[in-house]
Amino acid sequence: MRKIFTNGIIYTFDNIQPVVEAVVVEYGRIIDIGSTTDMIFHWKNADCEIIDLEGMTVTPGLTDSHIHLSMVAENFINLDLTGVTSKEEMLNKIQARANELKEGEWIIGGGWDENLFQHGSIPTISELDYVAPGNPLLLNRICLHAAVVNSKALEITNYHPSITVPEGGTIVLDQDTKRPTGILLESAKDLILRHIPVHTNTILKNALRKAIQFAMEKGLTSVHTNDSLYLGGLDQTYQLYDELLNEEKLGLRTNLLINHEFLDDLRFSGMYTGYGNQTLKIGAIKIFADGAFGRRTALLSSPYTDDPSNYGDAIFDTCALYEIVKNARELNMPVAVHTIGDQALENTLDVLDEFPAASYRDRLIHTQVVRKDLLRRLAKPSRIADIQPRFLASDFPWVEKRLGPERIKLSYAWKSMQEAGVICAGGSDAPVEPVDPLLGIHAAVTRKTPGQTHSGYNPNEKLTMIEAFQLFTENGAYPTNEEHIKGTISRGKLADMTVYSNNPFRMIDPDELLTTKIEMTIIGGDIKYQK
């Protein structure tokens, strides 16, 4: 059926017709744009459906270029510690969950951030043992690069002082007793994860369905999600999404980043980059090059300012990283490499220079600390900086102590990236940050946390409202080589649009974004969410 969306203020992000009133859709594609009068005159017929936008603002559908939908789904199942403001509150929540469970059942969850704690530090292992004596637990830090566990969890892993820790991981020990503090960094969590019972397919599917619907409520029409480690591998991950998106037709267009651990599975299955359809596709190979700033595991070229003996951690040495990229290239697949510190970025670019991208684009995820020489190397059409503007609201001002006054100048440096010719795509890394893309856009424009009144952290790096929206619309199509079918409201492209209660491009104060609601999420011309 033909549909005509009329009477809108429609920002197309297409230079030929930047603002129009109406969009004509047929078979999921945009066939014409223009004024309401012209579109109705030329295209209305007996079978046509008219959707009156009543003067609301429309942009191309929003894309989150880096999200973990499976972990968003886990928040519908597990213990959510997001926003906890003290050690006591965290321990109380753990104890309450333990009281709901049988002895021996796992307490799984996450979202805690000690930088928000007004009272107390990270709970000790003895405190965790006290509130959950009969329940093993693993609780991820919000960055997902650290976790706390109790003695019950270590007992299940048969922990001993000489245990082999996975490469790139650390079991943090007390300096005096040399016993575990309960903090695990990076891949050390794998020792615990292999012992946690997996959810049934039914539970996972129900939670993932809620996460997909939640994403669409936030205006997202497309996501690039990294889930294979959390959903039981390549086959089960693809199957779950295939059932929800292609069979149930929930709508959200989904590109699956596949962890490098499953390269052999990809080779055997033949499910290489681009496998699938316009709703569900296999994307790039996900690799971790370093950690994060919260626990000082992001890899820097010079030491942390507040810890002069520490440079951070490389998850893989250069030889191992080389082999992973080489294996990906043998399948003609791009890579998506987690690089927060400048040394991790440099190491990764050194390897990528050995394996120029052919058919697809590589992405450097996060790129939070750069240098001028690295900007020049990033500025290639085959490379995408996959950034998360909302990180700024969570990381400042404490990250300034980590990096120091000079290095901070080219940190979270999105304007400098764009001026250097780097293609930047915007994401949330949810559940590390909220799913809501308007919060990421707000952070890119204001460079401050909602409620703050200063002029912004490194205000010279602010983006305009148009530039910030481009991160989540037009530029969101580039990492997956889909700019010919997505990202702008143009004739021939997929009819994916997001409709807002306020007009972001006429706002006097960008804080108005914080009260702006998503009115509709339109995917392939179908209204998949309506307020």
pLDDT at residue number 129: 96
Identify whether the C-beta of residue 261 lies closer than 8 Å to the C-beta of residue 226: no
CA dihedral 38, 41, 46, 52 (to 10 degrees): 40
What lies within 8 Å, CB to CB, of 83 at 6+ separation is 111, 116
**Is the preceding omega at residue 166 within 30 degrees of 0, hence cis?**
no
102-106 long-range Cβ contacts below 8 angstroms, 24+ apart: 103/134, 103/135, 104/134, 104/135, 104/136, 105/135, 106/135, 106/136, 106/137, 106/138, 106/196, 106/197
Question: What pLDDT sits at residue 197?
Answer: 86
CB 465 within 8 A of CB 445: yes
Task: Quote the pLDDT of residue 315.
Answer: 93
**343 pLDDT exceeds 80?**
yes
pLDDT tens for residues 273-294?
Answer: 999 999 999 999 999 999 999 8
First-to-last C-alpha distance (Å) of the chain: 23
In Å, how far are 10, 11, 24, 29, 497 from 14, measured between CA atoms?
11, 8, 15, 16, 13
Closest CA to 511 of 449, 466, 464: 449
What single string gives the DSSP state of each residue in 89-153?
HHHHHHHHHHHHS-TT--EEEEEE-GGG-SB--SPPHHHHHHH-TTS-EEEEETTSSEEEE-HHH
Q: What is the distance between the alpha carbons of residues 33 and 367, in angstroms, rounded to a whole number?
A: 37
Cα–Cα dist 12/318, whole Å: 43
pLDDT given at position 500: 98
374-430: pLDDT as tens digits? 999 999 999 999 999 999 999 999 999 999 999 999 999 999 999 999 999 999 999
Task: Residue 227: name the closest of 73, 62, 424, 436 by CA.
Answer: 73
pLDDT for the residue numbered 232: 87
Looking at residues 347-371, what average pLDDT do you find?
A: 95
- By CB atoms closer than 10 A (0-12, 13-18, 19+), residue 426 is buried
User: 């595991």: which residue's tokens?
Assistant: 297
How far apart are the C-alpha atoms of 348 and 360, rounded to whole Å?
Answer: 17
Q: Could you tell me which residues are beta bridge partners of residue 80? A: 110
Structure token digits, residue 274:
């681009």
Residue 357: pLDDT band with limits 50, 70, 90: confident
In 311-438 the beta strands, taken as DSSP E runs, fall at 335-339, 362-366, 383-387, 423-426
Give the C-alpha separation, 315 to 327, whole Å. Answer: 17
Domain with CATH 2.30.40.10 in the chain: 3-55
* pLDDT (0 to 100) of residue 120: 84
How many Å apart are CA 147 and CA 140, to the nearest integer?
4
Band of residue 167 on the pLDDT scale cut at 50, 70, 90: confident
User: What's the mean pLDDT in 257-275?
Assistant: 96
Q: What is the pLDDT of residue 449?
A: 94
Alpha-carbon gap, residue 18 to 35, rounded angstroms: 12
Q: pLDDT category, 200, cuts 50, 70, 90?
A: confident
DSSP 471-516: HHTTGGGGGGT-TTTSSS--TTSB--EEEESS-GGG-SSGGGGGG-
Every domain of the chain with CATH number 3.20.20.140 lies at: 63-69+201-521
- Other beta carbons within 10 angstroms of residue 102's beta carbon come to 8
Token couple for 406: 């000079």
In the structure encoding, which two tokens stand for residue 54, read together? 């009543």
CATH for 63-69+201-521 (3.40.50.880, 3.20.20.140, 3.30.300.30, 3.30.70.260): 3.20.20.140
Q: Which tens digits make up the pLDDT trace of 18-57? A: 999 999 999 999 999 999 999 999 999 988 999 999 999 9
* Host H or E run for residue 74: helix 69-74
Q: Where in the chain is the domain with CATH 3.10.310.70?
A: 78-193
Element (H, E) at 323: helix 318-330
Is a pLDDT exceeding 80 seen at residue 442? Answer: yes
Answer whether residue 344 shows pLDDT above 90: yes
Q: How confident is the model at residue 143 (pLDDT cuts 50, 70, 90)?
A: confident
Confidence of residue 145 (pLDDT cuts 50, 70, 90): confident
Q: Quote the mean pLDDT of the chain.
A: 95
**pLDDT for the residue 147:** 94
Q: Above pLDDT 70, what percent of the chain?
A: 100
pLDDT class of 74 with cuts at 50, 70, 90: confident
Q: Does the pLDDT value for residue 198 go beyond 80?
A: no
Tell me, what's the pLDDT at 141?
92
Per-residue pLDDT at 371 exceeds 80: yes
Cβ atoms of residues 289 and 338 within 8 Å: yes
Average pLDDT over every residue of 187-210: 89
All residues at 6 or more sequence positions from 369 whose CB lies less than 8 Å from its CB, including other chains: 298, 300, 340, 341, 342, 345, 403, 407, 410, 411
pTM: 0.88
Domain topology for 3-55: Urease, subunit C; domain 1 (2.30.40)
212 has a pLDDT exceeding 80: yes
CA 316 to CA 456: how far, in whole Å? Answer: 35
Q: What is the pLDDT of residue 199?
A: 81
Contact criterion met (CB below 8 Å) for 23 and 495: yes
- Residue 496, CA distances (Å) to 50, 278, 284, 381 in order: 17, 12, 23, 25
Q: What is the mean pLDDT of residues 3-30?
A: 98
Residue 529 has pLDDT above 90, yes or no: yes
Which CATH number does 78-193 carry? 3.10.310.70
Please tell me the distance from the alpha carbon of residue 446 to that of residue 459, in angstroms, as a whole number: 8
pLDDT computed for residue 201 by the predictor = 85
